[in-house]
Amino acid sequence: MSTSMPIAFFLSRHIRYWLPRPFCYSFSGVFSRQNRKVRLLFGLADLVLIAVAFEAAYQTRFHLNLEREFYLRATEKTLLLGFALLLYLALGIWLKIHDRLDAGKPVAILRDTFQQALLGSAGVALFQYAFRLDLSRFFLGLFAVYSLVLLATFRLLSRRLVGIVRSEFGPQHYVLVVGLSERARRLAEALEASARYGIHLVGFLDDGTPAEPPPAVQLSRSTYPVHSLEKLPELLRQQVIDEIHFAVPGERLAELEDVFLLCDEEGVRTRVTVDFFPHVNSKVYLERLGELPLLTFSATPHDEIRLMLKRFADIIVAAVGLAVLAPFMLVVALLVKLTSPGPVIFRQKRCGLNGRIFVLYKFRSMCADAERLRPALEHLSERKTAFKIRNDPRLTPIGRFLRKFSIDEWPQLWNVLKGDMSLVGPRPAVPEEVERYERWQRRRLRMRPGLTCLWTLAGRDHVDFETWMKLDMQYIDNWSLALDWKILLKTIPMVLTGKGAH
152-173 per-position pLDDT tens digit: 998 888 766 665 555 555 567 8
Q: What is the pLDDT of residue 14?
A: 38
Rounded Cα gap, residues 208 and 229, in angstroms? 9
pLDDT digits (tens, 9 = 90+) for 76-88: 888 889 999 999 9
Q: Worst-scoring range by mean pLDDT, 176-185, 192-201, 382-391, 412-421?
A: 382-391
Q: Which of 388, 408, 399, 395 is nearest to 451 (CA)?
A: 408
Residue 323 has pLDDT above 50, yes or no: yes
Residue 494 has pLDDT above 80, yes or no: yes
Q: Return all residues near 15 (Cβ < 8 A) that are at least 6 apart.
A: 24, 277, 286
Residue 411 has pLDDT above 90, yes or no: yes
Burial state string for 239-265 with b = 16 or more CB within 10 A and e = fewer than 16: ebbbbbbbbbeeebbeebeebbebbbb
**Which is more confidently placed, 120 or 98?**
120
Q: What is the pLDDT of residue 99?
A: 72
For residue 79, what are the CA distances in angstroms to 41, 126, 217, 253, 387?
Answer: 24, 14, 61, 59, 62
Q: What is the pLDDT of residue 33?
A: 55
pLDDT digits (tens, 9 = 90+) for 249-262: 877 888 888 898 99
The alpha carbon of residue 76 and the mean position of all alpha carbons in its chain are separated, in whole angstroms, by 41
Number of CB atoms found within 10 A of residue 208's CB: 15
Rounded Cα gap, residues 477 and 264, in angstroms? 13
pLDDT digits (tens, 9 = 90+) for 337-369: 999 898 999 999 999 999 999 999 999 988 887
Rounded Cα gap, residues 59 and 70, in angstroms? 10
- Average pLDDT (114-131) is 87
Residue 437 has pLDDT above 80, yes or no: yes
Q: What is the pLDDT of residue 392?
A: 77
pTM value is 0.63
* Pairing verdict, β 357-363 and 345-351: antiparallel
Q: What is the pLDDT of residue 22?
A: 34
pLDDT band per the 50, 70, 90 thresholds, residue 18 = very low
Residue 416 has pLDDT above 70, yes or no: yes
Tell me how far apart the 2 most distant CA atoms of the chain are, in Å: 90
**Which is more confidently placed, 193 or 417?**
417
Q: What is the pLDDT of residue 83?
A: 92
Q: What is the pLDDT of residue 252?
A: 80
Q: Return all residues near 418 (Cβ < 8 A) that are at least 6 apart.
A: 358
Q: Which of 307, 310, 315 is nearest to 418 (CA)?
A: 315
Q: What is the pLDDT of residue 397?
A: 85
Residue 303 has pLDDT above 90, yes or no: no
Q: pLDDT exceeding 70 applies to what percent of the chain?
A: 83
Partners of 209 in the β-ladder: none
The answer to whether the CB of 494 falls within 8 A of the CB of 461 is no
- Average pLDDT (43-52) is 92
Q: What is the pLDDT of residue 164?
A: 59
Q: pLDDT exceeding 90 applies to what percent of the chain?
A: 30
pLDDT digits (tens, 9 = 90+) for 4-14: 444 343 334 33
Q: Which of 287, 279, 231, 219 is nearest to 255 (CA)?
A: 279
Q: What is the pLDDT of residue 376?
A: 75
The DSSP 8-state label assigned to residue 444 in this structure reads G
Rounded Cα gap, residues 243 and 223, in angstroms? 19
Q: Which of 340, 349, 327 is nearest to 433 (CA)?
A: 349
By three-state DSSP, how is residue 200 classified?
Answer: strand
Rounded Cα gap, residues 75 and 131, in angstroms? 12
Q: What is the pLDDT of residue 62?
A: 83
Q: What is the pLDDT of residue 501?
A: 62
Rounded Cα gap, residues 399 and 335, in angstroms? 10
Q: What structural domains and CATH numbers belong to the chain?
A: 4-30+171-299 (3.40.50.720), 33-164 (no CATH), 305-497 (no CATH)
Residue 46 has pLDDT above 50, yes or no: yes
Question: Which of 241-250, 312-321, 433-442 reaches the highest mean pLDDT?
Answer: 312-321
Residue 111 has pLDDT above 50, yes or no: yes
